[in-house]
Structure 1
Amino acid sequence: METFDTIDAKILRELQQDASISLDQLGERVALSRNACWRRVRALEEAGVIKGRVALIDPAAVGLGLMVFMEIRTHSHDPDWQRTFNRATQTIPGILSVYRMTGDLDYLIRARVADMAGYDALYQQLIAQVPIADVAASFVMEEIKDSTALPL
């Protein structure tokens, strides 16, 4: 998007808090008419600034109360291994985020599972699909802050 102004930032802040807000309410909050607000939201979507709209679900309410961070180290950095790893992590339910890292750690995975047995099943699925040199897991005991909102 070529121009991104303070009104766009206000719109995005509001939508990050509640994407189900009506255009009338959104317009009131950012001081635009309904139509002007709709045009801006549509432009933000077309530019790829707004990638989608989702419902945020309480993980514990759907039986996925355990969050795990998996630290992945590999001996292979060739393109075939990376494609296999990327494909595997895209298809395994429970894996929420995958990051390629700098430093000693190669990849960091954030996943949600029901319990330790659920983690073991996820782990077994991953290592069955792609060879990994080392996996270390850390389990979240308390979520102090978990936000999807970007600081605009």
Structure 2
Amino acid sequence: MKFDSFDIKILEILQGDAEQQVAQIAAQVGMSATPCWRRIQRLKEAGVITRQVALVDAQKVNVGVTVFVSVRTSTHTQEWFEQFRGTVQAIPEVVEFYRMSGDVDYLLRVVVPDIAAYDAVYKRLIAGTSLHDVSSSFAMEELKLTTALPLGYIK
């Protein structure tokens, strides 16, 4: 898909606040509402805009503790992976889950209210699969958190 400056500006606006009315977005990018609406629909149909969600304050819903969990395994079979993925996906406190390169095989971001709640998550994690090493790091302070992707790399 080809992007022009209008598309990029629309994406910037929607990443900041997707609740704005089309007329508001159109005014900010310098076009009328109907062509702006068509561009938004085209971005959705092309899969550029994948969904619109509400961002919830973690502190206000009592999951203000963030834990980064590094997992190493000595087993790399598809069967093991499917079991591990199923275990992780069944734990709602795991909000991000990545397969990594380097010394760590998997990285998880977990949100919980406290250490005791994390211990319960940890027990569910290790009960579901055989792991070689699990290392947990608690975030002391959130210095930057954004869901907005950088758009300067669009070709």
Partner of 1:50: 49
Letter aligned with residue 80 of structure 2: W
Summarize the alignment of residues 1-152 of structure 1 with structure 2, pairs less than 5 Å apart: 2-152=1-151
Q: TM-score, normalised by structure 1?
A: 0.97
CA distance in 1, matches of 2:129, 2:64: 26
Letter aligned with residue 53 of structure 1: Q
1:83, distance to aligned residue in structure 2 (A): 0.9
Render the CA deviation track for 1:15-36: whole Å, top value 9, x for unaligned: 0000101001000011121111
CA distance in 2, matches of 1:85, 1:97: 14
Render the CA deviation track for 1:70-117: whole Å, top value 9, x for unaligned: 000001111011111111111211101011111111010001001001
1:126, distance to aligned residue in structure 2 (A): 1.0
CA distance in 1, matches of 2:139, 2:56: 18
1:60, distance to aligned residue in structure 2 (A): 0.7
Letter aligned with residue 28 of structure 1: A
CA distance in 2, matches of 1:44, 1:87: 32
Letter aligned with residue 118 of structure 2: Y
Report percent identity of matched pairs.
47
CA distance in 1, matches of 2:146, 2:51: 16
For structure 2, list consecutive stretches of 5 or more residues without a partner in the other structure: none
CA distance in 2, matches of 1:4, 1:30: 14
Letter aligned with residue 15 of structure 1: L
Normalized per residue, the structure richer in helix is 1
> Paired residues, what number?
151
For structure 1, list consecutive stretches of 5 or more residues without a partner in the other structure: none
Letter aligned with residue 126 of structure 1: L
Backbone CA RMSD of aligned residues: 0.8
1:128, distance to aligned residue in structure 2 (A): 1.3
